[in-house]
Structure 1
Amino acid sequence: MHLESIIQQVLDGTPVDKEQALFLVTVPLEPLCEGAEKIRRHFCGNVFDVCAIVNARSGRCPEDCKFCAQSVYYVTPVQEYPLLSEEKILEQARLCARAGIHRFSIVISGRSVESKELERICKIIRGIKKETELYVCASLGILEESQYRSLREAGLDRIHNNLETAPRFFPFVCSTHTYEEKVNAIRLAQRFGFSVCSGGIFGLGETMEDRIDMAFVLRELGILSVPLNLLDPISGTPYEKNPVLSEKEFRRIVAIFRYILPQAYLRLAGGRRLLSDKGAACFRSGANATISGNLLTTSGIPFVEDRRMLHELGFQL
């Protein structure tokens, strides 16, 4: 196997298989990343996708995801509060629109959303759509048909639901829901016409093969917006002492995902502030999207800084 032949294969429209993806783990980093950039430019051009999120309901989550500061199972410094008011979320959306960001996501903690909260969220979505031209996304957990129907009628554009990791490793990360539940929820959202944003988090203890396996699941599901999170170990969680992945390893993950998902928006998300260059090297290794501003329980990077960096890198916002 040769790197150049794999790059050309992807450019010609033939997907890589798992054997080829595992071979990419052994390739020197710089040629691998240069190839990923060639693929990114071919399929996506220089268009860059930026979104901002609001942590609309924080803490007291009944799920036991070991990386998450919002789980009720762990004692962490995270702030807890119920669903924010319509006005507070609308104001965040207005700020996002005025800053020039085109995508805004409402994120809540918890397994799902209750009927009264869903009604409020639908009202908020309608308000955002009325007052701005934002593309509205939501991360609301594992939902049912009637809930997806209500969100669709309210004007929601995209559903977010991270797979987090590979099927093999998922039981080591969470025991209160299953991988199959997540996959089924994604497929149900797609049946209601939603585009879906789904990715994972790296540095949990998973292998490189696990990461590759997750990428292939995402490809099978037809996911074209893929958040790539770098674990930011938070005090009080079971992963608080996990070492942060090296920047070179994270770049390799980003690049390999580009070979497997050539047409996707690979979105640097949680943990980007841990990178010494705030992600610039990854944006030269196949990534072409990010979350700007603060995240759920950790601080992020102001959009004004991101915009300056991305323009310097030659991206179009």
Structure 2
Amino acid sequence: MSESNCLKLAKSIIAGRRIKRGDDLSIFLTAPLPELQEGARLLQDHFCGNHIDFCTIINGRSGRCGENCKYCAQAACHHTGIEEYAFLPKETIIAHARANEEAGANRFAIVTSGRALSGRDFDRAIETYEAMRDTLHIDLCASHGLLTRAQLRRLREAGVTSYHHNIETSHRFFPQICTTHTYDDRIRTIKMAQEEGFCVCSGGIIGMGETWEDRLDMALSLAELGIESIPINALMPIPGTGMEGRAQLPADDILRTIAFFRYINPAANIRLAAGRKLLPKNGATAFCAGASASITGNMLTTSGTTIKEDMAMIAKLGLTNREEDCHAVTGTCGAR
């Protein structure tokens, strides 16, 4: 049996080719999904070995956000009944981080609602990160919106190694989901974070009404930015938001997206995020066809999976989240 065009493309990427804007991308939309996944698995094996990176999240400040992102339960313009609270006490956050570290997670992130964390809340975040840096071993990630360079520098000095800031979708489609800030605002923040030495985690949401071309454009934009960790969220429509009532994506659409993100960003961590429950076996098939990472535990406003369940899942698949147990890691996908 002759090898598929997808497998040939994957082998050319391993040999050094990179997918660029302007290339013919039709194969990603027309190839049979199993063939596309076969190539994605080959790329994952080469660049990521058998390593799966698990990150965990705590919602450090909830609700009352002044931005109007249509998908978000925390926007003040939406009426979702979400719990609202100010920045959590340092002791509460550290206790969650310690529990996640003991459960085996690779990294821990504080995320906060709002355009940008500032003032006394930002100072509290810095104090919390410094305490975690000094008492824990888990890698620290932050997600605090459109920060200034000075704020990003303070985070880095406090022990944070990764900064999360999604581009969400394509440049073309972004104004359809948010008008209180721009796509270019997000790109500026990402580039500043990279310049300050952060590993940047940036991806987006699919299923908001964008086209397949928008999804491909997002994958290319992330490749051009050199993003190392790419969370792919499948929209879980939340009552009261601007996406209420939108149909959920079929599993095959999510799996196809994960697969072609691997071809376009071969050495990145392609990270399962919201919407894992829409996938077969809670994402197990995705871990074998392009996804090399996941958010685990209780995720923000969408249902999550426990760390224990995820550890058992990847063990059955012959995968590991322990760097010392990993083989054949040749890219940036592995534990940092």
CA offsets, 1:118-175, max 9 Å, x none?
1110110011111110100000000101111211111111100000000000000100
Q: Percent identity?
A: 44
> CA shift at 1:282, angstroms?
1.1
Q: Which residue of structure 2 aligns with residue 65 of structure 1? A: 69
Q: How many residues align?
A: 317
Q: Which residue of structure 1 aligns with residue 11 of structure 2? A: 8
Give the distance between the partners of 1:281 and 1:208, measured in 2 at CA.
21
Give the distance between the partners of 2:6 and 2:157, measured in 1 at CA.
47
Give the distance between the partners of 1:190 and 1:3, measured in 2 at CA.
32
The one of 18, 24, 28 aligned to 1:24:
28
Q: Which residue of structure 2 aligns with residue 227 of structure 1? A: 231
**RMSD of aligned residue pairs (Cα, Å):** 1.2
TM-score by length of 2: 0.92
For structure 2, the residue ranges without an aligned partner over 5 or more in a row are 322-336
Q: Which residue of structure 2 aligns with residue 213 of structure 1? A: 217
Give the distance between the partners of 2:26 and 2:168, measured in 1 at CA.
20
| Secondary structure, counterpart of 1:156 in structure 2 | coil
TM-score by length of 1: 0.98
Q: Which residue of structure 1 aligns with residue 81 of structure 2? A: 77
Q: Which residue of structure 2 aligns with residue 153 of structure 1? A: 157
1:180 is the counterpart of 2:184: yes
CA offsets, 1:241-275, max 9 Å, x none?
11111001100000000000000100001121233
The one-letter amino acid of 2:187's match is V
Give the distance between the partners of 1:64 and 1:154, measured in 2 at CA.
30
Deviates more, 1:280-289 or 1:179-188: 280-289
Report if aligned partners of 1:21, 1:256 keep a CA contact under 8 Å in 2: no
The one-letter amino acid of 1:86's match is K
Give the distance between the partners of 1:32 and 1:312, measured in 2 at CA.
23
Give the distance between the partners of 1:46 and 1:270, measured in 2 at CA.
23
1:86 is the counterpart of 2:90: yes
Q: Which residue of structure 2 aligns with residue 97 of structure 1? A: 101
The one of 48, 53, 56 aligned to 2:57:
53
Give the distance between the partners of 1:275 and 1:23, measured in 2 at CA.
22
Alpha carbons of 1:2 and 1:299: their partners in 2 closer, same or farther (altered >3 Å)? closer
Give the distance between the partners of 1:154 and 1:142, measured in 2 at CA.
18
1:35 is the counterpart of 2:42: no
The one-letter amino acid of 1:73's match is C
> CA shift at 1:276, angstroms?
4.2
For structure 1, the residue ranges without an aligned partner over 5 or more in a row are none
The one-letter amino acid of 1:151's match is L
Q: Which residue of structure 2 aligns with residue 198 of structure 1? A: 202
Give the distance between the partners of 1:252 and 1:175, measured in 2 at CA.
29
The one-letter amino acid of 1:52's match is T
The one of 127, 130, 133 aligned to 2:134:
130
The one of 288, 292, 295 aligned to 2:296:
292
Report if aligned partners of 1:6, 1:20 keep a CA contact under 8 Å in 2: no
Report if aligned partners of 2:250, 2:278 keep a CA contact under 8 Å in 1: no
The one of 240, 245, 251 aligned to 1:247:
251
Give the distance between the partners of 2:165 and 2:298, measured in 1 at CA.
19
Report if aligned partners of 2:6, 2:38 keep a CA contact under 8 Å in 1: no
Q: Which residue of structure 1 aligns with residue 168 of structure 2? A: 164
Report if aligned partners of 1:63, 1:71 keep a CA contact under 8 Å in 2: yes
CA offsets, 1:183-206, max 9 Å, x none?
000001111111100000010001
Report if aligned partners of 1:6, 1:16 keep a CA contact under 8 Å in 2: no
